[in-house]
Amino acid sequence: MSPIEILYEDDDILVCVKPAGVAVQSRNVTIPDMETALRSQIIRSGKFKNKSTTLHVIHRLDQPVEGILVFGRIRKAAASLSSQVQDGGAMDKHYLAVVCGEFPEAAQEGELCDYMYRDPASKSAVIVDSSDVDAGKIPDDAKKSTLTYRVISQKRVEGISLVDIHLHTGRFHQIRAQFSHAGHPLLGDRRYCTAESDELSARLRVKNVALCAYSLSFDHPTTHKRMEFKIEPRGEIFGELKSE
Protein backbone atom coordinates (compact mmCIF):
# COMPACT_ATOMS: atom_id res chain seq x y z
CA MET A 1 0.00 0.00 0.00
CA SER A 2 1.39 3.42 -1.00
CA PRO A 3 2.02 6.03 1.71
CA ILE A 4 -1.08 7.97 2.73
CA GLU A 5 -1.07 11.60 1.57
CA ILE A 6 -0.99 13.88 4.62
CA LEU A 7 -2.61 17.31 4.16
CA TYR A 8 -2.03 18.62 7.69
CA GLU A 9 -0.86 17.32 11.04
CA ASP A 10 -0.22 18.70 14.52
CA ASP A 11 -0.51 17.56 18.14
CA ASP A 12 -4.33 17.55 17.97
CA ILE A 13 -5.43 16.47 14.48
CA LEU A 14 -4.31 14.64 11.35
CA VAL A 15 -5.89 15.39 7.97
CA CYS A 16 -5.23 12.97 5.11
CA VAL A 17 -6.54 11.62 1.81
CA LYS A 18 -8.22 8.21 1.78
CA PRO A 19 -7.70 6.36 -1.51
CA ALA A 20 -10.65 4.62 -3.13
CA GLY A 21 -10.86 0.95 -2.21
CA VAL A 22 -9.34 1.29 1.27
CA ALA A 23 -11.49 0.96 4.41
CA VAL A 24 -11.19 3.48 7.23
CA GLN A 25 -11.15 0.59 9.71
CA SER A 26 -11.22 -3.18 9.19
CA ARG A 27 -11.78 -6.05 11.60
CA ASN A 28 -9.78 -8.33 9.29
CA VAL A 29 -6.09 -7.90 10.16
CA THR A 30 -5.09 -9.16 6.70
CA ILE A 31 -6.91 -6.31 4.92
CA PRO A 32 -5.13 -2.90 4.85
CA ASP A 33 -7.10 0.00 6.31
CA MET A 34 -6.47 3.70 6.89
CA GLU A 35 -6.04 3.46 10.65
CA THR A 36 -3.42 0.70 10.46
CA ALA A 37 -1.60 2.26 7.49
CA LEU A 38 -1.37 5.65 9.21
CA ARG A 39 -0.05 4.18 12.45
CA SER A 40 2.61 2.30 10.53
CA GLN A 41 3.48 5.45 8.60
CA ILE A 42 3.85 7.48 11.80
CA ILE A 43 6.26 4.88 13.21
CA ARG A 44 8.36 4.70 10.01
CA SER A 45 8.46 8.41 9.16
CA GLY A 46 10.38 11.03 11.07
CA LYS A 47 8.33 13.89 9.62
CA PHE A 48 5.33 13.78 11.98
CA LYS A 49 5.12 16.48 14.67
CA ASN A 50 3.10 14.15 16.93
CA LYS A 51 4.91 10.80 17.18
CA SER A 52 2.01 9.10 18.98
CA THR A 53 0.19 6.40 17.02
CA THR A 54 -3.09 7.16 18.79
CA LEU A 55 -5.79 7.95 16.21
CA HIS A 56 -9.46 8.65 16.94
CA VAL A 57 -11.85 8.04 14.03
CA ILE A 58 -14.13 11.07 13.65
CA HIS A 59 -16.06 10.31 10.47
CA ARG A 60 -15.97 7.68 7.74
CA LEU A 61 -16.02 7.29 3.99
CA ASP A 62 -17.31 4.13 2.33
CA GLN A 63 -14.51 1.78 1.27
CA PRO A 64 -14.95 2.43 -2.50
CA VAL A 65 -14.99 6.22 -1.97
CA GLU A 66 -11.96 8.53 -1.97
CA GLY A 67 -11.60 11.79 -0.11
CA ILE A 68 -10.46 13.85 2.85
CA LEU A 69 -10.53 12.48 6.40
CA VAL A 70 -9.66 14.09 9.72
CA PHE A 71 -8.52 12.03 12.73
CA GLY A 72 -8.21 13.21 16.32
CA ARG A 73 -4.80 12.71 17.94
CA ILE A 74 -6.00 13.20 21.53
CA ARG A 75 -9.36 12.58 23.22
CA LYS A 76 -10.20 16.25 23.80
CA ALA A 77 -9.63 17.10 20.13
CA ALA A 78 -11.61 14.05 19.04
CA ALA A 79 -14.56 15.06 21.22
CA SER A 80 -14.58 18.56 19.70
CA LEU A 81 -14.41 17.24 16.14
CA SER A 82 -17.09 14.63 16.81
CA SER A 83 -19.47 17.33 18.06
CA GLN A 84 -18.87 19.25 14.82
CA VAL A 85 -19.91 16.19 12.78
CA GLN A 86 -23.42 16.23 14.26
CA ASP A 87 -26.28 17.56 12.12
CA GLY A 88 -25.99 21.31 11.83
CA GLY A 89 -22.46 21.23 13.29
CA ALA A 90 -19.43 23.19 12.16
CA MET A 91 -17.94 20.44 9.99
CA ASP A 92 -18.74 21.13 6.34
CA LYS A 93 -18.46 18.41 3.68
CA HIS A 94 -18.62 18.73 -0.10
CA TYR A 95 -18.45 15.89 -2.61
CA LEU A 96 -18.09 15.44 -6.34
CA ALA A 97 -20.02 12.58 -7.95
CA VAL A 98 -20.45 11.26 -11.46
CA VAL A 99 -24.01 10.04 -11.84
CA CYS A 100 -26.02 8.25 -14.49
CA GLY A 101 -28.38 10.42 -16.53
CA GLU A 102 -28.73 14.09 -17.35
CA PHE A 103 -30.62 16.76 -15.43
CA PRO A 104 -33.20 18.99 -17.11
CA GLU A 105 -32.64 22.74 -17.07
CA ALA A 106 -35.04 23.23 -14.15
CA ALA A 107 -33.17 20.70 -12.01
CA GLN A 108 -29.57 21.90 -12.45
CA GLU A 109 -29.63 22.80 -8.75
CA GLY A 110 -31.78 21.25 -6.08
CA GLU A 111 -32.28 19.48 -2.77
CA LEU A 112 -32.83 15.83 -1.93
CA CYS A 113 -34.66 15.28 1.34
CA ASP A 114 -35.73 11.78 2.40
CA TYR A 115 -36.29 9.64 5.47
CA MET A 116 -33.88 6.73 5.46
CA TYR A 117 -32.63 3.93 7.69
CA ARG A 118 -30.01 1.21 7.63
CA ASP A 119 -31.25 -2.31 7.01
CA PRO A 120 -29.01 -4.70 9.00
CA ALA A 121 -30.02 -7.70 6.89
CA SER A 122 -28.98 -6.24 3.53
CA LYS A 123 -26.42 -3.83 5.03
CA SER A 124 -27.89 -1.15 2.77
CA ALA A 125 -29.62 2.18 3.25
CA VAL A 126 -33.38 2.11 2.68
CA ILE A 127 -35.37 5.21 1.76
CA VAL A 128 -38.91 5.39 3.08
CA ASP A 129 -41.48 5.66 0.29
CA SER A 130 -42.93 9.17 -0.02
CA SER A 131 -46.49 7.82 0.28
CA ASP A 132 -45.61 6.26 3.65
CA VAL A 133 -44.05 9.56 4.78
CA ASP A 134 -47.22 11.42 3.76
CA ALA A 135 -49.28 8.90 5.71
CA GLY A 136 -47.04 9.27 8.77
CA LYS A 137 -45.76 5.67 8.47
CA ILE A 138 -42.12 6.45 9.23
CA PRO A 139 -40.07 3.68 10.91
CA ASP A 140 -38.70 4.60 14.33
CA ASP A 141 -35.10 4.25 13.16
CA ALA A 142 -35.57 6.35 10.01
CA LYS A 143 -33.90 9.77 10.04
CA LYS A 144 -34.41 12.82 7.89
CA SER A 145 -31.56 13.06 5.39
CA THR A 146 -30.82 16.20 3.42
CA LEU A 147 -28.31 17.26 0.78
CA THR A 148 -28.15 19.98 -1.85
CA TYR A 149 -26.52 19.61 -5.26
CA ARG A 150 -25.40 21.59 -8.30
CA VAL A 151 -24.73 20.13 -11.75
CA ILE A 152 -21.28 21.18 -13.00
CA SER A 153 -21.20 19.51 -16.41
CA GLN A 154 -22.87 16.81 -18.48
CA LYS A 155 -21.77 14.51 -21.33
CA ARG A 156 -24.77 13.93 -23.51
CA VAL A 157 -23.20 11.15 -25.57
CA GLU A 158 -22.62 8.96 -22.50
CA GLY A 159 -25.58 10.34 -20.57
CA ILE A 160 -23.65 11.16 -17.39
CA SER A 161 -23.37 14.22 -15.14
CA LEU A 162 -20.79 15.67 -12.75
CA VAL A 163 -22.50 16.92 -9.60
CA ASP A 164 -21.22 19.00 -6.68
CA ILE A 165 -22.92 17.87 -3.45
CA HIS A 166 -23.19 19.62 -0.09
CA LEU A 167 -24.01 17.11 2.61
CA HIS A 168 -26.18 18.51 5.42
CA THR A 169 -26.64 15.24 7.32
CA GLY A 170 -24.27 12.29 7.60
CA ARG A 171 -26.30 9.13 7.10
CA PHE A 172 -25.06 5.68 6.13
CA HIS A 173 -24.61 5.54 2.31
CA GLN A 174 -26.67 8.73 2.10
CA ILE A 175 -25.42 10.18 -1.19
CA ARG A 176 -25.39 6.83 -2.97
CA ALA A 177 -28.88 5.85 -1.81
CA GLN A 178 -30.52 9.23 -2.34
CA PHE A 179 -29.22 9.79 -5.86
CA SER A 180 -30.16 6.26 -6.86
CA HIS A 181 -33.65 6.81 -5.43
CA ALA A 182 -33.85 10.06 -7.43
CA GLY A 183 -33.08 8.17 -10.65
CA HIS A 184 -29.37 9.07 -10.87
CA PRO A 185 -27.29 6.21 -9.45
CA LEU A 186 -23.57 6.86 -9.11
CA LEU A 187 -21.28 5.27 -11.65
CA GLY A 188 -19.31 2.32 -10.30
CA ASP A 189 -21.82 1.68 -7.50
CA ARG A 190 -22.79 -2.00 -7.56
CA ARG A 191 -24.98 -1.79 -4.43
CA TYR A 192 -27.42 0.93 -5.52
CA CYS A 193 -27.14 0.49 -9.27
CA THR A 194 -29.74 -0.07 -11.94
CA ALA A 195 -29.20 -2.32 -14.96
CA GLU A 196 -28.57 0.82 -17.02
CA SER A 197 -26.05 2.39 -14.64
CA ASP A 198 -24.28 -0.95 -14.16
CA GLU A 199 -23.89 -1.41 -17.92
CA LEU A 200 -22.74 2.19 -18.31
CA SER A 201 -20.16 1.81 -15.53
CA ALA A 202 -18.76 -1.29 -17.21
CA ARG A 203 -18.63 0.41 -20.62
CA LEU A 204 -16.83 3.46 -19.20
CA ARG A 205 -14.58 1.22 -17.06
CA VAL A 206 -15.55 2.86 -13.78
CA LYS A 207 -14.68 0.30 -11.08
CA ASN A 208 -14.90 2.28 -7.82
CA VAL A 209 -17.87 4.40 -6.78
CA ALA A 210 -17.47 7.72 -8.63
CA LEU A 211 -17.64 9.78 -5.46
CA CYS A 212 -14.97 11.97 -3.89
CA ALA A 213 -15.11 13.92 -0.62
CA TYR A 214 -13.12 16.76 -2.15
CA SER A 215 -13.68 19.53 0.42
CA LEU A 216 -13.68 19.46 4.21
CA SER A 217 -13.75 22.39 6.64
CA PHE A 218 -14.04 22.55 10.41
CA ASP A 219 -12.94 24.56 13.46
CA HIS A 220 -9.58 23.50 14.90
CA PRO A 221 -10.37 21.95 18.31
CA THR A 222 -7.66 23.95 20.12
CA THR A 223 -6.94 27.15 18.17
CA HIS A 224 -10.56 27.43 16.91
CA LYS A 225 -9.14 28.60 13.58
CA ARG A 226 -11.25 27.64 10.57
CA MET A 227 -9.45 24.85 8.71
CA GLU A 228 -10.25 24.26 5.02
CA PHE A 229 -8.92 21.50 2.76
CA LYS A 230 -9.56 20.61 -0.88
CA ILE A 231 -8.28 17.95 -3.29
CA GLU A 232 -8.81 16.97 -6.91
CA PRO A 233 -10.51 13.58 -7.52
CA ARG A 234 -8.09 10.94 -8.83
CA GLY A 235 -10.58 8.94 -10.92
CA GLU A 236 -10.25 9.37 -14.70
CA ILE A 237 -13.99 9.80 -15.17
CA PHE A 238 -13.87 13.03 -13.10
CA GLY A 239 -11.18 14.49 -15.32
CA GLU A 240 -13.19 13.76 -18.44
CA LEU A 241 -16.20 15.63 -17.12
CA LYS A 242 -14.32 18.54 -15.52
CA SER A 243 -12.69 19.27 -18.87
CA GLU A 244 -16.08 19.66 -20.54
pTM: 0.93
120 with 160, same domain? Answer: yes
> Does position 28 have pLDDT exceeding 80, yes or no?
no
39 with 129, same domain? Answer: no
User: pLDDT digit string (tens) for 35-94?
Assistant: 999 999 999 988 888 899 999 999 999 999 999 999 999 999 999 999 999 877 899 999
109 with 185, same domain? Answer: yes
82 with 126, same domain? Answer: no
User: pLDDT digit string (tens) for 100-124?
Assistant: 999 999 999 999 999 999 999 999 9
Asked whether residue 22 is domain-assigned, the answer is: yes
| Residue 40, helix vs strand vs coil | helix
> Does position 185 have pLDDT exceeding 90, yes or no?
yes
* Average pLDDT for the chain: 93
DSSP letters spanning 175-187: HHHHHHHTT-PBT
User: pLDDT digit string (tens) for 230-242?
Assistant: 999 998 899 888 6
68 with 102, same domain? Answer: no
At 218, the pLDDT band (50, 70, 90 cuts) reads: very high
Give, for 154, the enclosing helix (H) or strand (E).
Answer: strand 143-155
Asked whether residue 18 is domain-assigned, the answer is: yes
Task: Provide Rg for the chain, Cα atoms.
Answer: 19
DSSP letters spanning 160-229: EEEEEEEESS--TTHHHHHHHHTT-PBTT-SSS--HHHHHHHHHTT--S-SEEEEEEEEE-TTT--EEEE
Asked whether residue 240 is domain-assigned, the answer is: no
Pairing mode, strands 109-119 and 92-100:
unpaired
The CATH number covering residue 54 comes to: 3.30.2350.10
Question: How many domains does one find in the chain?
Answer: 2
At 244, the pLDDT band (50, 70, 90 cuts) reads: low
Asked whether residue 241 is domain-assigned, the answer is: no
The domain of 147 spans 95-203
